[in-house]
Structure 1
Amino acid sequence: MLVRKKYLYLFLAALLIIIIFMIPFQRSIVCQKMHSTEILAYLPIIKNETFQIQYTHSIHLSEVKESYKILKNNSIKQIELMYDDTSIGMPSEAEKGEVFVQENGHYYIKNMNRVFPSFNLSTGQVVANHRLIYKSKVYSFKNFIKPGTFITIQVKKLSLFQLLKGVNIVDTGTT
């Protein structure tokens, strides 16, 4: 009888450990392989914060910065776009409710309210040099994702198992 209790306790302890490893708890900005559940990299976050994606535009070779806010429901809201040229591939005016301004040699579309559950990105192979900016730290995508990879960026809670499998962007260092 004592042996059965010992095995029961071991079984319950093992079950508890498995459950702890599988319960999502860490809210993160997640980079997944597009059309896959494979997590390539993640950045742990705490609150409904902002982040930016910055890159060099492939045609006019100037910097573009997209600013996003993370909403309570894990949606991503684009709040601003900054760029230097209104030529090919860039907007020359704002949408309804947005504000188009020129400041310090840059064009801005402000007051944006474009909400997405996720968005797709092809990390640049040659020119783009995509960077993720979070809390004033700049993380180059090429440090944690192979250039030319098609990814989906979203916010979700990750389990301890998922955290151990993926690459923590903070660990890749800043550029």
Structure 2
Amino acid sequence: MKKLALSFHNKLKMKNRVWLPSRPYFLLIITLIMSLFLYGLVSFYLDRYIIIQVSDYRTDKIIYNKVLTRQEGFTIQFTHSVSKQPVKELYKITVDNRLALEEMRFNHFSANLPVDSEIAGSETTEFIIDGNSYRVVGFERKMDELLLAVGQVIANHHLIFEDNTEVFLSQKTENSLVIIKAVPLSIGKFLIWRWNEI
């Protein structure tokens, strides 16, 4: 009878026991789960940001970087070589990290500038007279990168960001060709960016 009671008692003990792996494996599994969770959380956070990168076409050297939220855009402004008036091209970043031309603004008609709405392939632009200036919207132009010939004398190409930062490209490079593209913000680039802001 005693044997039966002990056997029943041991079965109850075994039933209520929770299985735990040996300590080193348990810590390794918990660390791995936490690391994956943190990586996912940081990746989700970083996906809200993008780097606008300008590099020299010939040397591939990065001459300017700017971190933006995906909702922000930037403007390329230059002086038209014929009219000597400013022209602005407004860009946004698509979800697949491409540059999308959204709008063009100018205040004087000149060579190679639109004079009316246009249809080109699947793209139909709308020409808007806005007081003393003109706007062209409805572009469907998306590109992986933009090759820009930087005017060294008249054009004075510069980037304007929504925080009013202006970057004069002719002062950043000796070369007349630059590449502008959107680059995803990696964890390493994020840490460097934050460290430089402190």
TM-score normalised per structure 2: 0.62
Partner of 2:86: 63
Number of residue equivalences: 143
Partner of 2:140: 113
Query: Which protein has the bigger strand share?
Result: 1
Task: Name stretches of at least 5 consecutive residues in structure 2 with no aligned partner.
Answer: 1-45
> In the alignment, is the contact (CA less than 8 A) between 1:54 and 1:133 conserved in 2?
yes
Partner of 1:77: 100
Q: Which of 149, 157, 164 pairs up with 1:137?
A: 164
C-alpha deviations, 1:130-170, integer Å up to 9, x for none? 22111141413247513553101000136647x97xxx9x9
Cα separation, 2, equivalents of 1:148 and 1:35: 8
Query: Which protein has the bigger helix share?
Result: 2
Cα separation, 2, equivalents of 1:155 and 1:115: 12
1:91 CA displacement: 1.8
> In the alignment, is the contact (CA less than 8 A) between 2:72 and 2:92 conserved in 1?
yes
TM-score normalised per structure 1: 0.69
1:28 aligns with 2:48: no
Task: Name stretches of at least 5 consecutive residues in structure 1 with no aligned partner.
Answer: 1-24, 171-175
Q: Which of 89, 96, 100 pairs up with 2:112?
A: 89
Q: Which amino acid aligns with 1:46?
A: T
C-alpha deviations, 1:96-143, integer Å up to 9, x for none? 322101112111111222111111112221222222111141413247
Greater relative contact order (Cα < 8 A, sep 6+):
1
Q: Which amino acid aligns with 1:101?
A: I
Cα separation, 1, equivalents of 2:165 and 2:107: 20
Moved over 4 A (4+): 158-161
Question: What is the DSSP-based 3-state SS (H/G/I as helix, E as strand, rest coil) of the residue aligned with 1:58?
Answer: coil
